[in-house]
């Protein structure tokens, strides 16, 4: 589908097929006969796994999605239809942040203690991790070590299931590749942010002519890998960065971040709670690796806003930066480089109209040799990207 100039209107009018677990698994993994599949969920208290007690807790909305639409789906015919085995579900203790390493201890749905490495990673060919916090980075490392494939679907909700997971991932992969080719080997990207005050902040990310990568949802063949679903993204691991960009904190506070040598070095208050800014600056001073920019990403799909970054960062016309570990993206920032274990996260900073209404992406420009192309203006894809999507 070629997006119209107004991406969000296109998403609102788009008709999505009904979600099909069978179609999703067969398209993403193309599993061969006898592959063994399981589901991982995270719980604050593993006692909730016994007898699936978490189903009685209204706060476990993501885990309920895992049970209602994946576990039950597998056992209501999908295992047989796709000639899969297993269908078991395990729980591990919920981490405290995005992409933190997962504890090895897990339990089955009777509460029996097990080891993720010995009992799960070693015994299953396909692992679906449906969790509160993203586990893409640690699972990618374990997949390479133990040889399984899988998908991470953190923050899953009804909107994501019925739109971002209902699409045909052959189409998603095709469009992501078109946009990847349009942006690959870029030397740099410049982003202008227009604040409500009229001030314009500019950040320049150096990319060094690297090959762009894509999150396209297909995880086929025998190569160990993890798909992050919903997919639909072109991304880079910056080699350096300079300049300024705004950040909206969880409590609504807006800060102006200074970046030098690829690292956020300080935040200044624009509006909101000064204590939030002070806490961020204290963290940056205590553990400077928390400020390293490890990713620049661009959405490639026409999707509705879901309220969860896992889907909303895949929307065409948005872009995002991420701080922290980037080893799962081919970068060199690993958990051991952080002063404190709980800081070894990979945290996305999404720029999208619904998420950051108090500033605008005035323009995003790509520089590649003597070529300069406008990628995004006012949260809409530029003609260069639309032409790339329309190409055969």
Mean per-residue pLDDT over the chain, rounded = 95
State whether 363 and 377 are in the same domain. yes
Q: In the chain, what is the straight-line distance between the N-terminal and C-terminal CA atoms, in Å?
A: 12
Q: What is the pLDDT of residue 282?
A: 98
Residue 52 φ then ψ, to 5° = 55, 45
Mean per-residue pLDDT for 72-87?
98
Q: What is the pLDDT of residues 309-366, one digit of tens each?
A: 999 999 999 999 999 898 888 888 999 999 988 998 989 999 999 999 999 999 999 9
Structure tokens, 30 = 């193309």
Number of domains in the chain: 2
What's 52's DSSP letter?
G
pLDDT at 181 over 60: yes
What's 264's DSSP letter?
E
Length of the chain: 392
State whether 229 and 361 are in the same domain. yes
Measured over the CA atoms of residue 328, residue 331, residue 336 and residue 339, the dihedral's sign is negative
State whether 216 and 347 are in the same domain. yes
Contact partners, residue 198, CB within 8 Å, separation at least 6: none
Q: What is the pLDDT of residues 198-247, one digit of tens each?
A: 999 999 999 999 999 999 999 999 899 999 999 999 999 999 999 999 99
Domain boundary among 133, 163, 193: 163
Are 234 and 213 in contact by the 8 Å Cβ rule? The answer is yes
Domain boundary among 163, 196, 225: 163
Contact partners, residue 90, CB within 8 Å, separation at least 6: 38, 39, 40, 41, 49, 106, 107, 108, 109, 114, 116, 119, 120
Domain boundary among 163, 178, 194: 163
What's 224's DSSP letter?
-
State whether 124 and 234 are in the same domain. no
Burial of residue 13 (CB within 10 Å: 0-12, 13-18, 19+) is exposed
Q: Is residue 233 part of a domain?
A: yes
Q: What is the pLDDT of residues 267-302, one digit of tens each?
A: 999 999 999 999 999 999 999 999 999 999 999 999
Q: What is the pLDDT of residue 219?
A: 97
State whether 130 and 248 are in the same domain. no
Tell me how far apart the alpha carbons of residues 392 and 389 are, in angstroms, rounded to a whole number: 8
Q: What is the pLDDT of residue 88?
A: 98
- Of 159, 94, 99, which is closest to residue 308 (Cα–Cα)? 159
Are 219 and 152 in contact by the 8 Å Cβ rule? The answer is no
Domain encompassing residue 132: 17-163
Contact partners, residue 74, CB within 8 Å, separation at least 6: 21, 37, 39, 84, 87
Q: What is the pLDDT of residue 222?
A: 86
Q: Is residue 98 part of a domain?
A: yes
pLDDT bucket at 10, cuts 50 / 70 / 90: low
Q: What is the pLDDT of residues 91-147, one digit of tens each?
A: 999 999 999 999 999 999 999 999 999 999 999 999 999 999 999 999 999 999 999
What does pTM read for this prediction?
0.93
Q: Is residue 249 part of a domain?
A: yes
């Amino acid at each position: 589908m070629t997006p119209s100039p107004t991406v969000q209107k296109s998403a609102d009018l788009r008709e999505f097929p009904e979600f099909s677990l069978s179609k999703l698994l067969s398209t993403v993994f193309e599993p061969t006969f006898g592959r063994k599949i399981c589901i991982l969920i995270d719980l604050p208290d593993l006692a909730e796994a016994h007898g699936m007690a978490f189903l009685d807790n209204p706060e476990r909305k993501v885990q309920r999605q895992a049970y209602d639409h994946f576990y039950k789906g597998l056992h209501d015919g999908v295992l047989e239809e796709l000639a899969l085995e297993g269908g078991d579900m395990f729980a591990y203790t919920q981490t405290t942040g995005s992409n933190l390493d997962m504890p090895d201890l897990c339990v089955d749905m009777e509460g029996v203690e097990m080891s993720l490495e010995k009992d799960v990673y070693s015994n299953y060919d396909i692992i679906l991790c449906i969790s509160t916090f993203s586990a893409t980075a640690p699972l990618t490392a374990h997949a390479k070590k133990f040889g399984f494939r899988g998908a991470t679907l953190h923050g899953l909700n009804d909107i994501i299931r019925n739109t971002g997971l209902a699409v045909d991932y052959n189409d998603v992969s095709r469009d992501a590749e078109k946009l990847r080719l349009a942006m690959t080997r870029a030397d740099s990207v410049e982003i202008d942010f227009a604040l409500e005050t009229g001030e314009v902040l500019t950040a320049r990310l150096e990319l060094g002519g690297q090959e762009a990568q894509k999150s396209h949802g297909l995880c086929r063949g025998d190569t160990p890998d993890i798909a992050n679903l919903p997919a639909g993204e072109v991304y880079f691991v910056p080699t350096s960065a300079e300049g300024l960009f705004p950040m909206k904190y969880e409590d609504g506070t807006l800060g102006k971040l200074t970046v030098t040598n690829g690292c956020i070095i300080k935040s200044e208050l624009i509006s909101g709670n000064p204590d939030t800014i002070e806490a961020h600056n204290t963290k940056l001073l205590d553990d400077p690796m928390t400020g390293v920019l490890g990713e620049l990403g661009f959405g490639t799909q026409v999707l509705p806003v879901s309220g969860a970054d896992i889907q909303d960062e895949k929307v065409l016309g948005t872009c995002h930066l991420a701080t922290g570990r980037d080893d799962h993206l081919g970068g060199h920032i690993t958990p051991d480089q952080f002063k404190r274990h709980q800081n070894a996260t990979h945290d996305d900073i999404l720029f999208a109209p619904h998420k950051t209404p108090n500033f605008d992406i005035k323009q995003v420009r790509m520089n590649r040799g003597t070529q300069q192309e406008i990628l995004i203006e006012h949260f809409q894809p530029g003609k260069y990207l639309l032409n790339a999507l329309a190409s055969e």
